Structure 1
């Protein structure tokens, strides 16, 4: 794949994303992004650009209390941070680590901005099923079969069948009339 084709794909993706998020400036520090209110807390070296924020914004960022946008190589990078009152708060992504992020992960002296999300959307918790590291991803339901005790099954025989790499199962078939049991 050549660079021109890759650039075409990038341009197509940007055109698709252009209509997803709409930026609307309310005053110098407040704006709406798809109807959700945000406040511009810090704008270092005029790093804030509402149109570029709308292009790069993703719905997953709406769960964060603070969003930091930094510029490097003419690209905007966004990262979210939690307020200590947020139920999703953890120390590594707390708002107290914003300064560390700017010093360690961003380009030295780059333009950046910090935005406060005034209407945080906390995602609903999904119930995760317990899964085992071994075994198939599909679990079969086991039905209790009404059959006589194995020693009394003269008209049936069991056959071992491989079900996977390290698994096996048994299948019980009805014997044909007149076939004797082999040992």
Structure 2
């Protein structure tokens, strides 16, 4: 693909996206994006632009409590963060690590903004996945049952009916467990 075709494709995609998301500014700090409410909580170096935010927005970001936008080389980058009190999220994706993100991932001194999502849309749980797992458990999975049986056996030192040997294959070792033969079977 040559540059003109690539630019033509980019322009076409931008024209399609313009009709998807519309930002309506209500006051200095509040706006809606397709009826979804947001609040501007930080605007460093006037980094916030409602139209640019709408152009770059994706529905994936609706699940985050905060959305951070930073500018580099005239491009807006958006990244979602969760509230600090969320327990199911690892530390780097929480808003209290914003300074680390700005220092490590953004251009030094770049304009940025932080938007608070006032109506977080939690992702739907796909019930068919859960029911498939549940059905698999009901049918029984021999590999899983065998693994569970192995885990519930007593420690090797307490197993009087088994013997353990180390078998070498070149540099590799493996352990071999066998049933001990009873004394009556040896004769």
Identify the TM-score tier after normalising by the shorter chain. 0.5 to 0.7
State the match for 2:95 in structure 1.
Answer: 95
CA distance in 2, matches of 1:89, 1:62: 16
Aligned to 2:111: 111
Deviations 1:93-113 (A, max 9, x none): 011111101011000111100
Stretches of structure 2 that go unaligned for 5 or more consecutive residues are 134-187
> Any conservation in 1 of the 2:84–2:96 contact (CA below 8 Å)?
no
- Superimposed CA distance per residue, residues 101-158 of structure 1 (whole angstroms, 9 cap, x where no aligned partner): 101100011110000000000011222656xxxxxxxxxxxxxxxxxxxxxxxxxxxx
1:138-157 aligned at under 5 Å gives the runs none
Aligned pair count reads 130
Once the two structures are overlaid, the 10-residue window that deviates more, 84-93 or 120-129, is: 84-93
SS in 2 for 1:109: coil
The answer to whether the aligner puts 1:19 opposite 2:23 as a matched pair is: no
8 Å contact from structure 1 (residues 23, 54) kept in 2: yes
**Partners in 1 of 2:17 and 2:85 — Cα distance?**
32
Relative to structure 1, the CA distance from residue 36 to residue 88 in structure 2 (aligned partners, 3 Å threshold; closer, same or farther) is farther
Q: CA separation in 1, counterparts of 2:116 and 2:87?
A: 17
Distance 1:35 1:86 in 2: 25
> Over the residues paired in the alignment, what is the CA RMSD in angstroms?
1.4
Structure 2 Cα separation of the partners of residues 88 and 32 of structure 1: 28
TM-score of the superposed pair, with normalisation by structure 2: 0.66
TM-score by length of 1: 0.68
Which structure 1 segments of 5+ residues have no match?
Answer: 131-183
CA contact under 8 A between 1:83 and 1:89: conserved in structure 2? no
Residue 88 of structure 1 deviates from its aligned partner by 4.8
Measure, in 2, the Cα distance between the counterparts of 1:86 and 1:77.
24
The residue aligned with 1:52 is 52
Is the Cα–Cα contact under 8 Å of residues 82 and 88 in structure 1 kept in the other structure? no
Q: Which residue of 1 aligns with 2:157?
A: none
| Pair 1:123-2:87 in alignment | no
